[in-house]
Amino acid sequence: MKEGHAPYGRQNDEDWRRRTGDGRQGIAVWFRSIPWVFGLTELHHNWRQVMSIAALTTTQLVAIIAVVVVVIAVIATLLFRRKGRTERLRGKFGEAEYARAVKEGGTRRRAEAGLDERTQRVEGFHIQPLAPGDRARFVDSWRGVQTRFIDGPAGAVTAADQLLTDVMVTRGYPVSDFEQRAADISVDHPLVLENYRTAHEIALRQTKGQASTEELRQAMVQYRTLFEELVSEQEMPPTKAAS
């Protein structure tokens, strides 16, 4: 090594100190010189200025508060309406049918939309009470079905299911499959709907020889609850005009 020349490492250290200064201060100067670090520093500085409440005018503060209040009010209104809709549908269709709709729909929103569609569908029908002659005819038919149960319970259950379908069609419900009939009936007769579903399920198992006599008797009882409600429902008398 020649005299008067600093070692390679020492010379580099001196160059480093000359360019950046000594210690942590030098490191900070070097770090801030990197372009992307400079950009982040400026962004942070600008963001602090924007978010500084002291830098906002009274008008800006009032505007921000007003926007926050409006957003909170909108959210609260939507939640209140949704809760009210849920309670209304549960009260109208019953807890069992509401739970069934949620299970089949997958979500509460789809279920409630489907229940509203049921109501709109039935409102489009011309449902009317039975005429006196039709009522008497169906009551006699039901008595005959009950009499048949003694000697042939399976045939009586099948006849009861068909008789209910005939009553529905006569009252104005469209001819359709069981699930659609049950959905239509649920709008105006939700309290007896579960009985109708249970009785129909027993009637289907009966066709495969899988229903006991006691189950067939229960089906007859459950069919009767819906039959009596459909047959006994009468047209409301017209309201007299106020004098």
For 103-155, how does the pLDDT look when each residue is reduced to its tens digit (9 = 90+)?
988 898 899 999 999 999 999 999 999 999 999 999 999 999 999 999 999 99
**Confidence (pLDDT) at 83:** 66
In tens, the pLDDT along 171-211 reads: 999 988 899 999 999 999 988 999 999 999 999 999 898 99
Mean pLDDT calculated for residue range 158-169: 94
**Confidence (pLDDT) at 36:** 44
pLDDT category at 222 given cuts 50, 70, 90 is very high
* DSSP assignment string, 206-237: HTTT---HHHHHHHHHHHHHHHHHHHH--PPP
151: left (phi over 0), alpha (psi -120 to 50) or beta: alpha
CB crowding 137-166: b at 16 or more within 10 Å, else e: ebeebbeebeebbeeebbebbbbbbebbee
**Confidence (pLDDT) at 77:** 72
CB-based contacts of 20, cutoff 8 Å, min separation 6:
26, 27, 29, 30
CB-based contacts of 187, cutoff 8 Å, min separation 6:
92, 93, 118, 119, 122
Rounded Cα gap, residues 33 and 232, in angstroms: 91
Rounded Cα gap, residues 79 and 72, in angstroms: 11
- Is the entire prediction scored with pTM above 0.85? no
In tens, the pLDDT along 34-89 reads: 454 445 455 455 545 555 555 667 787 777 887 887 888 778 777 666 667 788 88
**Confidence (pLDDT) at 88:** 85
Mean pLDDT calculated for residue range 212-229: 95
pLDDT category at 91 given cuts 50, 70, 90 is confident
pLDDT category at 94 given cuts 50, 70, 90 is confident
Rounded Cα gap, residues 43 and 155, in angstroms: 83
Rounded Cα gap, residues 185 and 84, in angstroms: 23
Cβ atoms of 207 and 218 within 8 Å: the answer is no
Q: Which residue has the higher pLDDT, 196 or 5?
A: 196
Number of residues in the chain: 243
Rounded Cα gap, residues 98 and 93, in angstroms: 6
Which has the closest alpha carbon to 171: 141, 130, 125?
Answer: 130
> In this predicted structure, which of 32-41, 93-102, 222-231 has the lowest mean pLDDT?
32-41
